[in-house]
Amino acid sequence: MATIEAGNGIVTHINVFTTTPEQQQALVDSLTETVQAASDVPGWISASIHRSFDGRQVVNYVQFESHEAAQRVTRHLLAGGYIQRNTQLGSVAPGQYEVVHSLSSTDT
């Protein structure tokens, strides 16, 4: 389960894919297979896949225990061809983040 909490040391990758409405579902399916393959790698925590209503973007929100775990997962996915397949279905703007602030309705 995704944990969005400041100061917990979790490393988050947010990958924003730009695609076409015709390829959006294929990208979602490919990312679903990708996160399934990643889930067996030690240090992987969670992944959430989001698609835009206009069909032009897919966002993958992935969490790891550490930078080292993120690197292990990336190597595993590159070796399996998953990342290459995903980038054939859409261009990606990747980013690696840490949560610095979070607020929810239960906090107020």
Domains of the chain by range and CATH? Answer: 11-98 (3.30.70.100)
pLDDT tens series, the chain, 108 aa: 787 888 888 999 999 999 999 999 999 999 999 999 999 999 999 999 999 999 999 999 999 999 999 999 999 999 999 999 999 999 999 999 999 998 888 876
Amino acid at 61: Y
Helices marked H in 1-108: 24-38, 67-79, 82-89
